Amino acid sequence: MAVYSNIKNVQILIKLLKQFNIKDVVLSPGGSDIPIIHSLETDDFFNCYSVVDERNNTYFAMGLSQEKNVPVACVCTSGTAVCNFLPGITEAFYQDVPIIAITADKNPYFQGQLETQKIEQTNMFSDVVKKMVSLPVVKNAEDEWLCNRLVNEALLEVDHHGKGPVQINIPVVGDTGEFFEDEFKEERKITRIELPMQSEVWKQYSQKLQGKKVMVVVGQNILFDKEDKENMSEFFNKCNCIYATEHLSNLNCDGKINTYPISEIGGLNDKLLPDIVISLGNNLAAYNLKPFLRKNYKHIQTWNIDPSGKVRDAYKSLTDIFECKVSYFFENIIKHMENNQKEHEYYSEWKEVINLLDMENLPYSNVYVGKKLAETIPDNSVLHLAILNSTRITQLFDIPCNVHTYSNVGSLGIDGCVATFVGQATATDRKSYLLIGDLSFFYDMNAVALRSVSNNIRIIMINNSGGAEFHFFMGKERISTINDYISAEHHHSAEGWVKSLGYEYYGVQTKEEIDKALERAVKDSEHPIFIEVFTNMEQDAEKTHEIFNKNKYILGKHIGGMTGIKEVIASKLSREQKNKVKNIVKKIKGA
């Protein structure tokens, strides 16, 4: 029986080499690579070759790979041994030969600290490898996930859009002489399916969907045409699925669910957990959907549709990458699915929870602005939501399905929201709305003076005298000086600036004034319109929590059981009381 190293990142590497069918390994002796070499040499799966000279190791591997037409792995110890891999790896790169350079390393914490044989190994081949990964020292589940993902990324790249070498740098930290005899379980292997995709592939994956709850997570920046929507509706009709969308998804088809309110307010539970996630598009605004799926990663698998074939393991459960367009995926998968879906239990479970939400009779606040904007924005408009609070309060409410929505949530920076919006508005004759907070607006206020600003622009700025977002998730009770630098309290107004630029300006401080100003914004104007809504950041945060708590109570009663009891209790506590409870729990755990 084979013996394997007790060092976790070595185990992960060996398992995935087997699962990717990398049989041929060329080994050079050393101290750091003992756990790797001994794990390989005792496993009959591998064909091991000994080459003492590391420079000849990679050249030998290249010849082996060329003759057998398979990827070959090379293993060396740390230090200058890695330097000696460079000539052969360079030759392999320019000949497109698939070589996996496995370079053992010392503890990364000791880089530059006079540690024996510890040199910088991670950028040595940067110009002559298709991919370089440096594995973590695995101490916990997070490290283990990262290590698995990085090895998958490197091995997937060996023959992705052409062949060539990759480097896997592996710090070997632990008892290098400790081994165990066992047949251990396989690692998670990520599979990439590239064009052309044969009918057998579609049959295989369509069968995997049978009897499963499927969540199709639709991120931003995908353009769906009429045929796409028809195919996606047909997929829904054949599958027990939902399309988990936000306004940023810009998708309208059968099975669409705006999951944002439930994920943000706190209604996620085991009944809503999918078996399979199909992910497409870029980022979402929802903070809590990702943690919900990540927490349950052992119970789900994720398929990612990505034309570039990138490894995007957002939910820690990626198993399959479809390197194709979204339209191609749905066009082909529905051809191989059976027409046997009569009930939509999963969709019904989501709808049941969402229909419980109560967003009526809102007080004067930033949330009321989001509600009223959603109710009044005209069909076929453009809507840009500045990051964080502006995105949150609007996504709690339905908007017309043909309003095209944007938000800079790719990197989620405060800068550029106004300029991006002005660029969008310049490219269309449609009425274009921007909902933005005061800090974001004043940061980017020069953009409202650009020469391309036209009369189709409608800017709604919520001026609550600072960063309400920080009061929403933290507040004065946790940081008494929060308004000084974190929320950056101010007492500025945009009125003088925008009036000087020729904007039609409205300053509002009541629900009635908001209603009137937004109804004016629907109508044509000879000038761009600017609506400044004056609220208070602390009150906005508190009222948002009150709205969320009311709905948590409703959802908690619906969920039932211990989870429901927790939701009900939490809904009855103020934020200050919740923080006190958290501190008590921390003290108990620390005792």
Give per-residue pLDDT as tens, 329-384: 999 999 999 876 668 999 999 999 999 999 999 999 999 999 999 999 999 999 99
187 closest CA partner among 130, 127, 138: 138
Q: In this structure, is residue 359 part of a structural domain?
A: no
Q: In this structure, is residue 210 part of a structural domain?
A: yes
**φ and ψ at residue 243, rounded to 5 degrees:** -100, 110
Query: Are 460 and 317 found together in one domain?
Result: no
DSSP H stretches of helix in 297-379: 326-333, 345-354, 366-376
The answer to whether 99 and 132 are in contact (CB under 8 A) is no
| Better pLDDT: 412 or 304 | 304
The answer to whether 333 and 206 are in contact (CB under 8 A) is yes
How are beta strands 214-218 and 276-280 bridged, if at all?
A: parallel
Question: What is the pLDDT of the chain when averaged over all its residues?
Answer: 93
Query: Are 481 and 580 found together in one domain?
Result: no
Q: In this structure, is residue 378 part of a structural domain?
A: yes
Q: Which percentage of the chain shows pLDDT scores above 70? A: 94
What is the spatial distance between Cα 397 and Cα 246, in angstroms, rounded to a whole number? 10
Q: In this structure, is residue 186 part of a structural domain?
A: no
Amino acid code (one letter) for 348: S
Confidence of residue 413 (pLDDT cuts 50, 70, 90): confident
Q: In this structure, is residue 360 part of a structural domain?
A: no
Query: Are 87 and 58 found together in one domain?
Result: yes
What is the spatial distance between Cα 362 and Cα 544, in angstroms, rounded to a whole number? 10
pLDDT at 342: 67
Query: Are 386 and 531 found together in one domain?
Result: yes
pLDDT of 562 above 50 = no
Give per-residue pLDDT as tens, 144-193: 999 999 999 999 999 999 999 999 999 999 888 888 887 768 999 999 99
Confidence of residue 582 (pLDDT cuts 50, 70, 90): low
Give the number of domains in the chain. 4
CATH of the domain at 38: 3.40.50.970
**Which pTM value belongs to this model?**
0.92
State mean pLDDT over 571-587: 61
Query: Are 226 and 310 found together in one domain?
Result: yes
% helix, strand, coil for the chain, step of 5: 45, 15, 40
What is the spatial distance between Cα 586 and Cα 85, in angstroms, rounded to a whole number? 50
Domain boundary among 181, 200, 226: 181
Give per-residue pLDDT as tens, 445-476: 999 999 999 999 999 999 999 999 899 988 88
Query: Are 132 and 8 found together in one domain?
Result: yes
Q: In this structure, is residue 361 part of a structural domain?
A: no
Q: In this structure, is residue 482 part of a structural domain?
A: yes
Report the SS3 class of residue 485: helix
pLDDT of 477 above 90 = no
Query: Are 350 and 387 found together in one domain?
Result: no
CB burial of 515-539 (b: ≥16 within 10 Å; e: otherwise) equals eebbeebeeeeeebbbbbbbbbbbb
Query: Are 144 and 260 found together in one domain?
Result: no
Domain boundary among 300, 330, 354: 354
| Better pLDDT: 565 or 326 | 326
Report the SS3 class of residue 573: coil
Q: In this structure, is residue 46 part of a structural domain?
A: yes
Q: Which percentage of the chain shows pLDDT scores above 90? A: 84
What is the spatial distance between Cα 427 and Cα 423, in angstroms, rounded to a whole number? 7
Confidence of residue 480 (pLDDT cuts 50, 70, 90): very high
Query: Are 466 and 535 found together in one domain?
Result: yes
State mean pLDDT over 225-236: 96
Confidence of residue 512 (pLDDT cuts 50, 70, 90): very high
State mean pLDDT over 132-136: 98
State mean pLDDT over 490-501: 97
State mean pLDDT over 102-126: 90
CATH of the domain at 271: 3.40.50.1220
pLDDT at 176: 82
Query: Are 316 and 230 found together in one domain?
Result: yes
Which residue segment(s) compose the domain that 526 sits in? 366-542
pLDDT of 79 above 50 = yes
Domain boundary among 181, 215, 231: 181
Query: Are 34 and 139 found together in one domain?
Result: yes
Give per-residue pLDDT as tens, 2-40: 899 999 999 999 999 999 999 999 999 999 999 999 999
pLDDT of 569 above 60 = no
Residue-by-residue DSSP string for 230-278: HHHHHHHHHSSEEEEE-GGG----TTEEE-HHHHHHT---GGG--SEEE
Query: Are 219 and 336 found together in one domain?
Result: yes
pLDDT at 583: 65
Confidence of residue 587 (pLDDT cuts 50, 70, 90): low
